[in-house]
């Protein structure tokens, strides 16, 4: 992803100055700088309509922005006179109160496009749209600049969070063995805190006093976003339009958009509610709302039907160090690249399809169908390796804590001290979970065929049925008599002995 470099600033009257020589950058209504060629070049973009703003470069475009951290891309090049005029009006009191600047979790869909003018109208504020790239796909990111501009946003900020998402959120859950209600691998639950954390960072960078999201009042995501906001910056105001406005559904949103001259996204409305990131793709709604209905075959998007998967199995070797995957088939990869590779491999074999009814945090049950090909492979590999490296008591304690760990993540308590303490425990006990696991993928199934570890507690010379020096089978008699003593005493009592 393109990185930001500070190139220029603006004087009080809006004249752009070169950052190196403080010389005017405006040349025939275009941006240029006479500094060193290694640092600057002719910039093919018109001057921003904003006054007193910083100017940055990404992919040779000049974009207005507040100072942003590494890995951040800001967009919206020139909102023009109309937007400046409208922002002057925003200084007035809104219908519901007054906020200065709000960072909105933005997808570019109908709901968040409507939220932009709603925030301006009701809180008299500027709106900074924020989009996190957590691996939802390039199509989801296309055209966001134009959509945000048309909705009335003053700025669009996009952050590539894929590596952070996998390394700092997915991998800890993988190491902990966290699975919610026996099957759910927490795809959405892990993504929300990394997005919310980035929103808090952006709010600080752009000087916002509030954050907003488009989550409904019936789901889990509103809790996940807001608990992260509370934990990382309790002074931020939080706006949740779906809990405040009178809009009841898609038709109401379209009507509001037309009334406020917001172009309605001309995309085909999916009959399913979907959430996609690098870990999974979820499907909810339509016929899935009745648990008696089998999902349609054309609903799935990232995995083939196991019945149509290749007739020949594929073997894949996962290298693991201290409970975390580091390589695929001997090739070391970054966390995001490794997961992407396994998604492709697992997807073509129909791996990772789950259909479940789960208990939402807000009390109701909901049905979801999930595709998690790469994640399913990784969970299998780590658990298989742990059979070599963890003793019985440690494994039992780890499994019991994994249930609570998953519950905390599902409930949005990522930054809870309890989860952080449990994570330290998981890191400690998996320090020797190092080695490799070979898995066979075949028509939706994942089977372990080989596992090795330099820290293996398995000893062939002890486990063999042949007699050995370390284990004397005659010792088992005394052990059984002592181990079974409580049962023997109870039986004697019942029989009056």
Question: Mind telling me the catalytic residues?
Answer: 111, 192, 221, 273
DSSP collapsed to 3 states, 447-489:
EEEEEECCCCCCCHHHHCCCCCCCCCCCHHHHHHHHHCHHHHH
Q: Could you give the 3-state DSSP secondary structure of residue 355? A: strand
CA 57 to chain centroid, in Å, comes to: 27
Question: Hey, what are 150's tokens?
Answer: 């048309």
**Cα–Cα distance measured from residue 383 to residue 168, given in angstroms and rounded to the nearest whole number:** 20
DSSP code of residue 47? P
**Cα–Cα distance measured from residue 387 to residue 177, given in angstroms and rounded to the nearest whole number:** 13
Sort 417 into a burial class: Cβ within 10 Å, 0-12 / 13-18 / 19+.
exposed
Residues 101, 238, 275, 134, Cα dihedral to 10°: 60
| Short-list 203, 207, 213, CA closest to 238 | 213
C-alpha atoms less than 13 angstroms from C-alpha of 358 in its C-beta half-sphere: 25
The 10 Å Cβ neighbour count of residue 298 is: 7
Asked if residue 377 lies in contact with residue 345, where contact means CB atoms within 8 angstroms, the answer is yes
Asked if residue 316 lies in contact with residue 345, where contact means CB atoms within 8 angstroms, the answer is yes
Question: Hey, what are 57's tokens?
Answer: 């470069």
257-289 burial, b at 16+ Cβ within 10 Å, e below that, comes to beebebeebeeeeeebeebbbbbbbbbbeeebe
User: What are the φ and ψ backbone dihedral angles of 58, each rounded to 5 degrees?
Assistant: -145, 125
């Amino acid at each position: 992803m393109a990185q930001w470099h500070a190139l220029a600033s603006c004087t009080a009257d809006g004249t752009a100055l070169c950052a190196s020589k403080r010389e005017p950058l405006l040349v025939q209504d275009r941006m240029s700088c006479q500094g060193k060629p290694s640092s600057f070049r002719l910039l093919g973009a018109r001057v921003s309509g904003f006054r007193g703003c910083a100017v940055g470069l990404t992919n040779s475009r000049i974009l207005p922005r507040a100072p942003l951290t590494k890995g951040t891309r800001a967009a919206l090049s020139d909102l023009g006179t109309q937007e400046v005029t409208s922002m002057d009006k925003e200084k007035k009191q809104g219908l519901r109160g007054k906020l200065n600047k709000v960072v909105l979790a933005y997808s570019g869909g109908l709901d968040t496009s409507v939220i932009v003018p709603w925030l301006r109208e009701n809180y008299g504020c500027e709106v900074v749209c924020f989009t996190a790239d957590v691996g939802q796909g390039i199509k989801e990111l296309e055209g966001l600049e134009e959509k945000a501009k048309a909705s009335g946003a003053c700025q669009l900020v996009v952050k590539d969070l894929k590596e952070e998402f996998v390394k700092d959120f997915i991998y800890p859950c993988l190491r902990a063995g966290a699975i919610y209600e026996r099957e759910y691998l927490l795809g959405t639950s892990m993504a929300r805190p990394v997005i919310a954390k980035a929103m808090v960072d952006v709010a600080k960078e752009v000087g916002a006093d509030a954050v907003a999201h488009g989550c409904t009042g019936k789901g889990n995501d509103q809790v996940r976003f807001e608990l992260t906001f509370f934990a990382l910056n309790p002074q931020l105001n939080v706006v949740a339009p779906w809990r405040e406005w009178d809009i009841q559904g898609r038709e109401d949103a379209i009507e509001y958009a037309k009334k406020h001259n917001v172009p309605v996204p001309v995309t085909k409305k999916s009959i399913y509610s979907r959430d996609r990131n690098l870990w999974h793709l979820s499907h909810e709604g339509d016929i899935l709302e009745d648990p008696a209905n089998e999902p349609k075959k054309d609903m799935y998007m990232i995995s083939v039907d196991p019945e149509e998967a290749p007739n020949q199995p594929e073997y894949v070797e996962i290298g693991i160090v201290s409970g975390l995957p580091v390589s695929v088939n001997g090739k070391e990869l970054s966390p995001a690249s490794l997961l992407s590779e396994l998604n492709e491999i697992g997807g073509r074999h129909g791996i990772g399809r789950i259909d479940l009814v789960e208990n939402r945090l807000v009390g109701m049950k909901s049905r979801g169908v999930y595709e998690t090909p790469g994640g399913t492979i990784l969970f299998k590999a780590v658990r298989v390796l742990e059979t070599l490296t963890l003793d019985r008591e440690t494994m039992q304690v780890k499994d019991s804590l994994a249930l609570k760990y998953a519950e905390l993540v599902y409930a949005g308590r990522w930054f809870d001290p309890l989860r952080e303490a449990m994570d330290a425990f998981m890191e400690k006990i998996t320090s020797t979970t190092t080695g490799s696991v070979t898995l066979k993928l075949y028509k939706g199934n994942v089977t372990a065929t080989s596992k090795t570890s330099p820290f293996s507690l398995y000893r062939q010379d002890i486990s063999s049925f042949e007699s050995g020096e370390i284990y004397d089978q005659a010792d088992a008699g005394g052990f059984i008599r002592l181990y079974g003593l409580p049962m023997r005493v109870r039986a004697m009592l019942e029989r009056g002995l």
